[in-house]
Amino acid sequence: MKTNSEGARAIAAVIIVNLGLFLAVVTLPSFQAAHHHWIFPVFAALLAAQWALTFIPSPADRLVDRRALRASVVSLLVLLLVVGIARHATILACFDRCSFKLAAAAAIAGCVFLGHLWTRDEGFWNPPRASLAAIASWLWALSLVLRGLNLAPWLSDLLFVILALLLWLGRDRAAFLIASLGILIALAVRATANEYAIIGLSVVWSVALPLWAAPRVEAFIAGRRVLPAPAEAVAEPLGRKVLMSVMRIAGAVAVIAGIARFVVGPLSLVTDPAKRRAYLAARAPASSERDPGTLTPLAARLRAHVLMLSRTIGERDAYHPKGRERARDYVLANFKEAGYSPKALPYGSRWMRDVKNGTSFQNVEAVLSVRAPRPRGSWVIGAHYDSAPGTPGADDNASGVAVLLEVARLLKERAPGREVRFVAFGTEEPPSFGTRNMGSWQYASGLKDDGVAVHGVIVLEMLGYYNPRPGSQLYPPFMQLFYPDHGDFVGAVGNIASRALLGEFGASWKRASRFPLTSSVLPGPFAGLALSDQLNFWDLGFPALMLSDTAFYRNANYHEASDLPETLDYEKMAEVAKALAAAVEESPD
């Protein structure tokens, strides 16, 4: 048996050893130069070695006992916190370079903790601590794998929200309860986009919760399981008793009926693509295409853009480099014709491995500058010009690009009070979707790096499909209570941080046009359901909204070979283009 002073000496020894190692590493000349992305794996290996030591049975006179190892883990993590705060940029770069190796290390650490759980040791690594440490290690491993796959952060967030909800189901176990709440808190902190806060919280989360909270929460849960003895029942009059139970049953029936009517129905249509397509196709407008000769000039121009992109050029996705190049050249030529000096902004990624030829991808940008007495934040208006693989992409998104080109032309003749940046994004659809290979991610991070002041971003995502028939518009659950059931409007969607922009834009639109616009602010993870380029702008902290015909909630041809130019309504698109140009032009200070 060791005395306390021996234990304290061992703790001090381990802290000193860790400090020494740390100082040796950071003072190495090679650490000061070039990349030092290996620093994280080195510390991870040290950490794993120290964890592993706790499980090796040692003679009684061992130097390092469990208390000392506890201190070693804490000291290492504190050091990592210091390194993280001092060098967060390089540490984050290291996450990118070594994410798979780090994920493997974290997964192994999780298995070690799980193995320890089975020994039922009631010492320091007691079951609640060990199981929480195992879950935390695996969550780290998962987040590193997602980072390694180049996933856009908002998609990882969505996955982690689902994970938190699943863990919540096991909330009568301390580890699951803490993990579930921990994920939600971490996501809330991530939303602040403050890297110091994120790294700090991550370390607190890996150290403080396993060490401190788990046994206490476990005891709390165990205490609550012992129910207090029921109080002596007070005799109630029979009539009142019957009335109460009738009201309870009626209440339950009303709740179930409400859920069936407003959740199950719409959810089954939205989650079952074949059913949704059949429902929408049965309500498709008889024929929306008018005789092209009768179109107004603006509608005719929009139609010409859509025909060129979706019929003449056709597929223009990551697997059709020729189609993509022709689409890019068409956008460039149209910006030039409208009097701009457009630029192609190339980007590429080692992760585009499934793409033949290794060609680079390009956003196309045309800037309408203003000579304002004082600079004001710019508008950014964007639309992706690629198509979903296997589809001609008339509505998705030749319609958005057509409106982009015509709004650029309309605004060139006027003099808006703010700079407007028109951008056609090179990649939005799979295989780029949800990754940092999306053209909008590349463009938004460029804006952020250059410190461009942005007033608001408007993403044009499918603007050509309209249907006045009743029942032709679907919604996510409950939203049908507040919005029209026929699909002849344009929807603007923002997240909570963009609600001021959404309000201002909606007001400008309504002053300029009678074309119906519905605005919705989607909170938190629900905003992620609006699957398009604005997600990347939100993620990088820009106010942004998506303008759309609501895609698969209205158009049965969404991501199908039947997404053809003859299904679009060009006069309505012309109304949308005019309203958008007017709303942007008259935006207040």
Nearest residue (CB) to Zn ion, 160 versus 443:
443
Nearest residue (CB) to Zn ion, 11 versus 492:
492
Pairing mode, strands 361-368 and 343-347: antiparallel
Q: How far is the CB of 428 from Zn ion (least distance, A)?
A: 6
Nearest residue (CB) to Zn ion, 125 versus 385:
385
Nearest residue (CB) to Zn ion, 430 versus 524:
430
323's tokens: 């189609």
Contact at 8 Å (CB) between 554 and 471? Answer: no
Strands (E), 440-508: 454-461, 490-494
CA-to-CA dists, residue 3 to 56, 57, 64, 333, 450, angstroms: 21, 19, 13, 82, 60
Q: Which helix (H) or strand (E) holds 466?
A: none
User: Residue 300 class from Cβ within 10 Å (0-12 exposed, 13-18 middle, 19+ buried)?
Assistant: middle
Who's near 506: CB < 8 A, 6+ residues apart? Answer: 492, 517, 519
Q: How far is the CB of 414 from Zn ion (least distance, A)?
A: 28
Nearest residue (CB) to Zn ion, 102 versus 551:
551
Q: How far is the CB of 313 from Zn ion (least distance, A)?
A: 16
Q: Rounded to an integer, what distance in angstroms lies between the CA atom of residue 10 and that of residue 2?
A: 11
Q: How far is the CB of 387 from Zn ion (least distance, A)?
A: 8
Q: Rounded to an integer, what distance in angstroms lies between the CA atom of residue 346 and that of residue 375?
A: 27
Q: How far is the CB of 275 from Zn ion (least distance, A)?
A: 22
Nearest residue (CB) to Zn ion, 334 versus 534:
534
CA-to-CA dists, residue 327 to 320, 426, 587, angstroms: 11, 9, 31
The whole-angstrom distance between residue 451's C-alpha and the CA centroid of its chain comes to 22
Q: How far is the CB of 433 from Zn ion (least distance, A)?
A: 9
Nearest residue (CB) to Zn ion, 396 versus 549:
396
Q: How far is the CB of 397 from Zn ion (least distance, A)?
A: 4
Neighbours of 95 (CB within 10 A): 16
Q: How far is the CB of 575 from Zn ion (least distance, A)?
A: 21
Nearest residue (CB) to Zn ion, 43 versus 552:
552
Nearest residue (CB) to Zn ion, 187 versus 547:
547
Nearest residue (CB) to Zn ion, 112 versus 152:
152
Nearest residue (CB) to Zn ion, 425 versus 515:
425
Contact at 8 Å (CB) between 303 and 295? Answer: yes
Nearest residue (CB) to Zn ion, 138 versus 433:
433
List interacting residues with Zn ion (CB under 5 A).
396-397
Handedness of CA 138, 139, 145, 148 (dihedral sign): negative
* Amino acid at position 555, single letter: N
* Amino acid at position 487, single letter: G
Q: How far is the CB of 152 from Zn ion (least distance, A)?
A: 15
Q: Rounded to an integer, what distance in angstroms lies between the CA atom of residue 59 and that of residue 62?
A: 6
Q: Rounded to an integer, what distance in angstroms lies between the CA atom of residue 575 and that of residue 251?
A: 47
Q: Rounded to an integer, what distance in angstroms lies between the CA atom of residue 203 and that of residue 136?
A: 11
Q: How far is the CB of 331 from Zn ion (least distance, A)?
A: 15
Q: Rounded to an integer, what distance in angstroms lies between the CA atom of residue 18 and that of residue 439?
A: 44
Q: How far is the CB of 471 from Zn ion (least distance, A)?
A: 24
Nearest residue (CB) to Zn ion, 549 versus 585:
549
Q: Which helix (H) or strand (E) holds 561?
A: none
Q: How far is the CB of 571 from Zn ion (least distance, A)?
A: 22
Residue 108's φ and ψ, nearest 5 degrees, are -65, -45
Who's near 476: CB < 8 A, 6+ residues apart? Answer: 266, 267, 270, 526, 529, 553
3-state DSSP assignment of residue 565: helix
Q: How far is the CB of 319 from Zn ion (least distance, A)?
A: 16
- Please name the residue that has the structure tokens 């408007």: 458
- Please name the residue that has the structure tokens 């689902």: 162
Q: How far is the CB of 462 from Zn ion (least distance, A)?
A: 6
Nearest residue (CB) to Zn ion, 397 versus 467:
397
Give Dmax over CA atoms of the chain in angstroms: 97
Residue 582's φ and ψ, nearest 5 degrees, are -65, -40
264's tokens: 């199950």
